[in-house]
Amino acid sequence: KIDTQSVIMALVNVVNMMVLDNPTAFLNPFQFEITFECLQELEEDLEWKVVYVGSAESSEHDQVLDEILVGIDKFVLQAEPPDPRRIPPNDIIGVTVVLVTCAYREREFVRIGYYVNNEYSGEYDEETGPPKPIELGKVTRMILADKPRVTRFPIPWNGQE
């Protein structure tokens, strides 16, 4: 949740961002309630994106889960879960990252990252780990919603360069 201090991004401020349905099953959609304000009218909509980092080893496993254009100031961004076939089997369980980004005119100006912990909830031997292949119905996703990492990038707005 980002509400103690607004994230200032030139003409757009993210006032609040809440992670909904958390914790949840791995195969459930991601849901973020986002509230932002525009300090002046924008000529085009903002592009919001949800990216799941499939492996810390390589960005080739990153998945864009959803991408939408938004012109309203409060909405729920819902994205399908990642495709587990595109995640290395050893990276399904454990810690990863989900990113919510926003761009204006195809230029990203804010990235909000959350750590995600995927745990196997079924019984297993601690020494050998969960059974392979992983039973995805027994994987729980927990987003560490109270510790977002916010990165801002300067961009030109409304014809500025």
Predicted confidence (pLDDT) per residue in 108-157, tens digit: 999 999 999 999 998 988 888 898 899 999 999 999 999 999 999 988 88
pLDDT at site 160: 60
pLDDT at 9 over 50: no
| Beta carbons within 8 Å of 9's beta carbon, 6+ residues apart | 102, 109, 110, 152
pLDDT tens-place string over residues 77-88: 999 999 999 999
pLDDT at 10 over 90: no
pLDDT at 5 over 50: no
Looking at every residue in the chain, the average pLDDT score rounds to 90
